[in-house]
Amino acid sequence: MGSFRAKDADRDRFIELIEAAYVDGQLGAADRELRVGRALSAETLDELETLTRDLQLPPGYVPPAAPSTSPSTSPSRSRRATGVLVGLVMFVVLVVAGVTGIVALAMFAVPGENDSATSQGVETAPAPIESEEIVAEVPEAPSFAMSAPQVRAFVRAYEEEFGTLEAFEVGFYPERVGVQVPVRGSRPRMERWSWTGEWRQDTTATTVRGPYQRVDLGAVDVGRLFDNIAAARRTLEVEKGRFTHALLIRWGDEPTELNIYVGNEFSESGYLSSTPAGEIMRRHPYES
């Protein structure tokens, strides 16, 4: 399984199991935070399996079905086969067209006519110059990069799109923002959306699992967030650590936290916890 790359849907699937195990009493708060952080930065399915291998399925918990990775049903293989077939057909068409063109030239060429016209001083008109083809420029798709101006733009876009600054969880990543958006109604429901400069809905409405509480995006001090990202890289003792993500979350009766995670290519990680306003509450450096 380790040879398959993990997708966002895979990470969400394993995070739901970790959170359900936390609610079931199998994990403590610190262990839950650590596993969720590593699941969000996992690059392969084998890494995700390792994080949940020792967990029991909580009573009543039904894990979402894993997507099929069978090579026999791989769409890329069928696309390759179709491409080969199309290539062979095009080759045959080109060969037939070439032969037909040669035969046509041989049939319609009349020896001497062009030579006599030239000897009498009659010049043939030059071929018209074709106008340059005008190619319409395709505008580039919107993109997101983790920076203070783009985070502020995301907050404005969120309020415009959903009419609120409340969410159940917000994850800031280097190239996107993932949000659990509350769904209006009498029961706690949420939808997962992604922002990459434009909105994409990742899931339909589902039940809010665990004791999630709503957080306020308007309370985030964006400037202090980036100050704390720099501090996390300096102080969490992760060799050549890079920012992997930050989570704005409120769990049960605990206050809202903005947790900043740093990791490296060796799956070593640590995180710094702050208030939305940027006050550092605790650090969890990497422990070998």
**What single string gives the DSSP state of each residue in 70-120?**
-GGG-HHHHHHHHHHHHHHHHHHHHHHHHHHHHHHHHHH--TTHHHHHHHT
Kindly report whether the global pTM for this prediction surpasses the value 0.85. no
pLDDT tens profile 111-134? 444 444 444 444 555 555 554 455
H or E stretch at 182: strand 176-183
Distance CA(216)–CA(57), nearest Å, equals: 32
Asked whether 50 and 6 are in contact (CB, 8 A), the reply is no
pLDDT for the residue 125 = 54
Asked whether 10 and 248 are in contact (CB, 8 A), the reply is no
pLDDT for the residue 196 = 95
Collapsing DSSP to helix, strand or coil, 194 comes out as: strand
H or E stretch at 14: helix 8-23
pLDDT for the residue 3 = 62
pLDDT tens profile 39-70? 888 888 988 889 898 999 877 666 655 555 54
For residue 87, list its beta bridge partners: none
Asked whether 245 and 229 are in contact (CB, 8 A), the reply is no
